[in-house]
Structure 1
Amino acid sequence: MGERISGEADKGGATIRIGTRGSQLALAQAAEVRARLMAAHGLPEEAFAIEIISTSGDRILDRPLSEVGGKGLFTKEIELALLERRIDIAVHSSKDMATAVPEGLSLFAYLPREDVRDVFIGRSVETIADLPRGARVGTASLRRQALLKRLRPDLDIVTFRGNVQSRLRKLEAGEVEATLLALAGLKRLANEAAATQILDAQSFPPAPGQGAICIQGRDGDGAVETLVAPIADAPTGVALGAERAFLAVLDGSCRTPIAAHAVPDGAGGLAFHGMILTPDGASVHETRLSGSAADAEALGREAGRRVLEAAGPGFFAGWAD
């Protein structure tokens, strides 16, 4: 597998080990990180080794994430490999990241964000409005479930786990009438055409971090931090700082339907939209704030405090356990 990178990044042959999940989407994301690092440093592809690490989230497919541990199921084995120095960097979908990063690790960089919107994919209809009453719709996301039930309380929402390809196969086989996926993932898989309706981010806001790839490394690993610095996208970092701060105030996980979208305006400003819902979509609290991009995390925290205050202390009780 080559030697572990140490000291300054070695352009003469040291292997930089990139840890990732094994789905086609995860591999596409790792390949994008590798390509950007190659271009930034003039490194050959042989300077990198993509290490596939199986996660609990990949193995447990028969239950909702909310029942088996939440977001960390897609990251903890990869983070352990990083802590044990079996890999040099970890590549994750930012929306899979728990609010608390394990001690000894940090998020070093975010790549430029892809489209944040969700898409509806119908088997025999093109839009949510076209679905017949009581139609079965498959999703693994409590946020998508709640937003969908908010629009169409008559629908039958069923748990739909698995990677993008397996969900599309289940849809084609008729297990459900429709499903919802992230447009960013379809784009990275060159399968954007599968979408039958692109959902508006204002009325159907994304998960915190949706569309953003993050790179995680070990604290104090200056060589790796220097290596990834040239490919870090500052506007995405600002947006994710606000969204993750909002999530942290709410103690959010896959157990709670939470949406957040921060948009830097390019002139030092930041617009933030946050929302919390009950799983049935019947109760919704949202806030929209604007402020300075330099205060992104404070803006996210304030948005979190506002929706919590509006919702009251019992909002997450019972169903969020």
Structure 2
Amino acid sequence: MSQTPIFSPIASNSGTPERLVIATRESRLAMWQAEHVRDCLKKLYPACDVQILGMTTRGDQILDKALSKVGGKGLFVKELETALEDGRADLAVHSLKDVPMVMPEGFDLSCVMVREDAHDAFVSNDYASLEDLPKGAVVGTSSLRRESVLRSRFPHLVIQPLRGNLDTRMGKLDRGEYQAIILAAAGLKRLGLGSRIRALLPIDPYTPAAGQGALGIETLAQHPRIREWLAPLNDLPTLFAVTAERMVSRQLGGSCEVPLAAYATWDKDHMNIRSFVASVDGTASCLASAQGAVKSLEDAEALGLLVAQDLIAQGAERLLPNGLPK
């Protein structure tokens, strides 16, 4: 880590921030997310100069290969973390499902904002549902998790990789390269494209990825004051839910190479969490769920750990390409 950052966070005499720089990818969705965080910060701290630093990541540059083949979701965050290290930015905004389950040393996941719709969405110009697609229809997805469920339920369909930002993926659909694509509903809704959703896929069996629909803000651990400034943006129900989900994924070595789902919902102060691990071809899977009272991060982690242990007891390790984490 750089020992001589270009600048440190600037605070006013009252202890509130005077300037904050947000690092983000430059896709339209990522910029929307960064602008949303900027606007929230401006409401909290009207005198603060909040700037956005747009960046292109390795994940944005490599579009001809599946993420599982080129380094996984961390490709979308490494350059932003470098900007934090060398002082060009104070915080980085991510789609939480793109954030590796184990944070690098020296970095904190300092804030988790309120969750948008976590469902997967079926998008097609010609068909109303997956069930309507004819034999041989091409369905695009970037997720091994989605691919596994689709191959299990619809063996007559052709499942092909779909890379690129949201606009790129929609363009491929509109050019007829796919008869349908599966995307996260959250991104479509955030960009005002909710009308393109033909159907929201049910949580059973299309359980979302850990953190899907949530925004995470990453900072350097050496700047605890920034974490304090971000605290009002934390949404505790979302924070507890994704903490449980990420615990499941962490215990099982969740990455782009593993068809792994984990999704938690609330019933008053009780959390319900559902998770599965599967083979890519959809022929084998382990499914587990649990519920319990959750009033702290420790409670959320314990519930997630319970689900992970259930999956491991069922033999989930045989479905993991690299086995269980050491």
Task: Report TM bin, short chain.
Answer: over 0.9
* Residue 304 in structure 1 maps to residue 308 in structure 2: yes
Q: Which residue of 1 aligns with 2:70?
A: 68
- Offset at 1:265? 2.8
Please state whether the residue corresponding to 1:34 is helix, strand or coil.
helix
CA distance in 2, matches of 1:69, 1:114: 27
CA distance in 2, matches of 1:12, 1:236: 25
- CA, structure 1 residues 202+9, in 2 after alignment: closer, same or farther (shift >3 Å)? farther
Which of these residues, 16, 25, 31, is aligned with residue 29 of structure 2? 25
CA distance in 2, matches of 1:9, 1:181: 46
Please state whether the residue corresponding to 1:245 is helix, strand or coil.
helix
Write out per-residue CA displacement over residues 101-135 of structure 1, whole angstroms, 9 at most, x where no aligned residue.
11111011111000100111123111000000121
1:1-321 matched pairs, under 5 angstroms: 4-7=8-11, 14-43=18-47, 47-267=49-269, 269-293=270-294, 294=296, 295-317=299-321
Q: Is the 8 A contact 1:153 1:280 kept in 2?
A: no
**4+ runs of 1 displaced by more than 4 Å?**
7-13
State the number of aligned residues: 316
Aligned CA-pair RMSD: 2.0
CA distance in 2, matches of 1:196, 1:48: 37
Q: Is the 8 A contact 1:16 1:48 kept in 2?
A: yes
TM-score by length of 2: 0.92
The farther-off stretch of 112-121 and 216-225 is 216-225
Please state whether the residue corresponding to 2:18 is helix, strand or coil.
coil
**Structure 1 unaligned runs (5+)?**
none
CA distance in 2, matches of 1:195, 1:4: 43
- Offset at 1:284? 1.6
- Offset at 1:155? 1.1
TM-score by length of 1: 0.93
CA distance in 1, matches of 2:316, 2:224: 44
AA aligned opposite 2:292:
G
Please state whether the residue corresponding to 2:314 is helix, strand or coil.
helix
Please state whether the residue corresponding to 1:149 is helix, strand or coil.
helix
- Offset at 1:5? 2.2
- CA, structure 1 residues 278+10, in 2 after alignment: closer, same or farther (shift >3 Å)? farther
- Offset at 1:4? 4.4
Write out per-residue CA displacement over residues 51-73 of structure 1, whole angstroms, 9 at most, x where no aligned residue.
01211100000000000011101
- CA, structure 1 residues 13+302, in 2 after alignment: closer, same or farther (shift >3 Å)? closer
Please state whether the residue corresponding to 2:218 is helix, strand or coil.
strand
- Offset at 1:253? 0.2
CA distance in 2, matches of 1:85, 1:193: 40
**Structure 2 unaligned runs (5+)?**
1-5
CA distance in 1, matches of 2:310, 2:64: 36
- CA, structure 1 residues 95+42, in 2 after alignment: closer, same or farther (shift >3 Å)? same
AA aligned opposite 1:161:
R
